[in-house]
Amino acid sequence: MGGPGGLRQARRLCHWGPLVALAVVAVCSATAMADAALWYWPLDTAGGSVNFVVLLNWTVMILYNYFSAMFVGPGYVPLGWTPENSQDCMYLQYCKVCQSYKAPRSHHCRKCNRCVMKMDHHCPWINNCCGYQNHASFTLFLFLAPLGCIHASFIFVMTMYTQLYNRISFGWSSVKIDMSAAKRDPRTNIPFGLSAFAASLFALGLALGTTIAVGMLFIIQMKVILTNKTSIESWIEEKAKDRIQYYQTGETFVFPYDMGSKWKNFKQVFTWSGIPEGDGLDWPVRDGCHQYSLTIEQLKQKADKRVRSVRYRAIEDYSGVCCPVTKGVKTFFTTPCTEEPRIALSKGDLILATRGLKLVAPQLCLVKRNIEMSSGI
């Protein structure tokens, strides 16, 4: 991982998302292994050894898929890319930043500053986009993390139960409880003290919270994968239905990449080799559609967005900072919590608001996603 590319990859770790995610994995894994080996299921038993190996296996698989999703990346449209047939350019959007046409299913990510192939979303937890090349590893991470946390939660609960059931030792005293139903005899010289109890309880809350949060993300990802869509494409499909209903055009929009079978859609992402099908630029489509059915719909929506946009004039200067403390209490506390970049504005600049949000003029200056400069950005 040497050279500029290696440095760039190493810098991906220096972000709050990966640091928090790796800290959660480290705390849950280390605490579960310590609880199992020291107090609940010692390694001198066959069951304890198997349990420890399974815990270790969860950690290895979670980290492998996590780092694969982070460092392999989503795959980017080559700079300066154009379709083989020059006449097909009329069906595609042009990216001024990448100086190339946006290939079908690709979108420009402001954070990565590149056009991403089959972009699903930019994930702050891996500090990278989820797209064509890493969709499978990212989804496997979302699948394995809750399973590992469920196993760890079981260890935490059983450790606290067995230790408090047999012996309570909080540092200042030791109270033995004589209960005939207690068959487990602690075989460690290390007392289960207050610090160990607090660590296990904290790790239990962390594991349960991760199970719920990450599990929900996994369900969302599987829903779009089984229809061979991305999160962005699901949103485009919804907007297509709204556009057709609004203008009463009588059109019928059919998502072109749904193969009509959940299994076929599943195999578009998950393969035995781990390498996704295709090249990320050309995609198989269902009968009645062609390669540019979705991009044509995107062009229609972009034109419709400009028609329905509302022109505003900036009434104050804005530097582009994320937390505009000088713009008043209301603006500060109602600023959207997002990592989207902001743009600096000067008093008198004209902007086009392309989303239906009820915002005061200073707030309109804060969200780059919701505005476009009248110069045509």
Residues acting as catalytic residues: 123
3-state secondary structure 255-267: CCCCCCCHHHHHH
- Whose structure tokens read 């009645």? 288
Cα-Cα-Cα-Cα torsion 325, 328, 329, 335, nearest 10 degrees, comes to: -70
- Between CA 71 and CA 160 the distance in angstroms is 38
- Beta bridge mates, 108: 115
DSSP structural state of residue 243: H
Q: Rg for the chain (alpha carbons), in Å?
A: 26
Residue 193: C-alpha distances to residues 167, 173, 202, 333 (Å): 10, 10, 14, 43
Q: Which residues pair with 310 in a beta bridge?
A: 353
Q: Tell me which H or E stretch contains 66.
A: helix 46-72
- Sheet strands (E) in the chain: 94-95, 100-101, 107-109, 114-116, 121-123, 128-130, 167-169, 174-176, 310-313, 350-353, 371-373
Instruction: Round to whole Å and give the CA distance between 166 and 185.
Output: 7
Overall size of the chain counted in residues: 377
Nearest to 167 by CA among 152, 184, 147: 184
* 19 and 13 Cβ atoms separated by less than 8 Å: yes
DSSP 3-state of 100: strand
What is the spatial distance between Cα 271 and Cα 268, in angstroms, rounded to a whole number? 8
Q: Specify the DSSP element, H or E, that contains 60.
A: helix 46-72
